[in-house]
Structure 1
Amino acid sequence: MSSNLKRDLTARQVQMIALGGTIGVGLFLGASSTIAWTGPSVLLAYMLAGVFIFFIMRALGEMVYTHPHSGSYAKFANDYIHPAAGFLTASSNIFNWVVVGMSEVIAVGTYLRFWWPELPTWIPGIVVIILLTLANLASVKMFGELEFWFASIKILTILLMIVAGFGIIFFGLGNGGNPVGLSNLWANGGFFTNGFTGFFFALSIVFASYIGVELIGVTAGETKDPEKNITKAINGVVWRILIFYVGAIFIIVTVYPWNELSDLGSPFVATFAKVGVTIAAGIINFVVITA
């Protein structure tokens, strides 16, 4: 375990790093693609994937508790399987985040065109890279604090969307006082709209959407009192991710017929607009940029 790392990350920051790394653009803009594969049964896909993630994270938590090293799962693969396994784990993880990071940096320029249509996409990309580099170079405490507040923005948005959705479903909020009810879960072709084939196709995408939760392990080398804070983060973050993912998807497939979602754009925008938030598109666009 390195003695050169400053252990400045707190439990709340560690949890938000994991939540922020997992809950991202895919939920805000990409949910309709998995729903198109399997319809309302996508709920079951998120729950099933969540069960596997829970056991994986519990296992990772046990390892990190014993060896709170910043190398995390790559070091564990190296020490307990083979150095080749450690190399493949580390290199594939780096490749994954380089690709994801670059794609999202490019996406920022696209989203900013919502307000400035003539803005060249490379300008905001450069700005984002510089800002993120400075945040990482400054201190791990600053990075953790920035991650905490940026993650809080999208989590608050999801919670508000869930509350608004329940208002639509059970009280008819924004629907003339007529509750939408739960019938969209089994109408329009049933719960498994494309059979088990569509369900398993969607399941593979759903598993990928949980990528990022493993970042808890990477934070171990820079966390205050890692045995206590990592344990607390592991026990809390999986349930929170399930609530946010499953809760948000439940609202989406219940409020709207699954086969109409492709025409709505972002289901989040549509849900907020339905309850009278006329600037919903601008709000969600801002949230997606922070995501």
Structure 2
Amino acid sequence: RSSDLGPALALVYLICGLFSFFILRALGELVLHRPSSGSFVSYAREFLGEKAAYVAGWMYFINWAMTGIVDITAVALYMHYWGAFGGVPQWVFALAALTIVGTMNMIGVKWFAEMEFWFALIKVLAIVTFLVVGTV
């Protein structure tokens, strides 16, 4: 149960955040030392070779392709399970979520950035709320 975790949950978030900070800090130093017009795949190509760059690029693509599919499936499952829409097929919710995400990606950069800001703020507030509830 998450209520039994208490402060350990905050400690885990702190440790993971610290690791993420150091990894991105190292990537930032690498970018300053050796600027490249490519992504991190270009650094894998330069330091580890063509095969490592190939694997890194495809793994990154597969990661985000699967993440999108999993998120849309999760939306459909949650709406079907928790909502008052038990009689509606799950594929309807999945199609609606896909349409919303597709529409958001086709609007202008200014509006997309504004939506990203608010969604990120909601996500941070949700994490803080879960940490507070888990501690209490």
| Bin for the TM-score computed over the shorter chain | 0.7 to 0.9
TM-score, normalisation: structure 1: 0.39
Correspondence for 2:113: 144
Residue type of the partner of 2:114? E
- Over the residues paired in the alignment, what is the CA RMSD in angstroms? 2.8
1:46 maps to 2:46: no
Residue type of the partner of 1:67? P
Q: What do the CA deviations read for 1:209-251 (whole angstroms, capped 9, x no partner)?
A: xxxxxxxxxxxxxxxxxxxxxxxxxxxxxxxxxxxxxxx43x2
Q: Which residue of 252, 264, 268 maps to 2:133?
A: 252
Structure 1, unpaired ranges of 5+:
1-30, 162-247, 256-291
Q: What do the CA deviations read for 1:56-77 (whole angstroms, capped 9, x no partner)?
A: 01011223445364x4212211
Distance in 1 between residues matched to 2:42 and 2:79, nearest whole Å = 39
Instruction: Please identify runs of 4+ aligned residues in structure 1 that moved more than 4 A.
Output: none
Check conservation: 2:41, 2:57, Cα contact below 8 A. Answer: yes
1:131 maps to 2:100: yes
Distance in 2 between residues matched to 1:148 and 1:64, nearest whole Å = 25
Correspondence for 2:65: 98
1:112 maps to 2:79: yes
Correspondence for 2:35: 67
1:178-193 equivalent positions in 2, closer than 5 A: none
Q: What do the CA deviations read for 1:116-143 (whole angstroms, capped 9, x no partner)?
A: 2222111121122233223323444443
CA shift for structure 1 position 91: 0.8
Q: Which residue of 111, 115, 122 maps to 2:91?
A: 122
CA shift for structure 1 position 98: 1.5
Please, which moves more after superposition, 133-142 or 122-131?
133-142
Please, which moves more after superposition, 40-49 or 83-92?
40-49
Distance in 2 between residues matched to 1:138 and 1:44, nearest whole Å = 39
Change (3 A) 1:131 1:88: same
Structure 2, unpaired ranges of 5+:
none
Distance in 2 between residues matched to 1:131 and 1:254, nearest whole Å = 35
SS of the equivalent of 1:115 reads coil
Change (3 A) 1:64 1:125: farther
Percent of paired sites with the same residue: 33
Check conservation: 1:64, 1:72, Cα contact below 8 A. Answer: no
SS of the equivalent of 1:122 reads helix
Check conservation: 1:78, 1:85, Cα contact below 8 A. Answer: yes
Distance in 2 between residues matched to 1:50 and 1:153, nearest whole Å = 18
Residue type of the partner of 2:133? I
- Count the aligned residue pairs: 133
Residue type of the partner of 1:73? F
Distance in 2 between residues matched to 1:50 and 1:93, nearest whole Å = 20
CA shift for structure 1 position 52: 1.8
Relative contact order, CA 8 A, sep 6+: which one is greater? 1
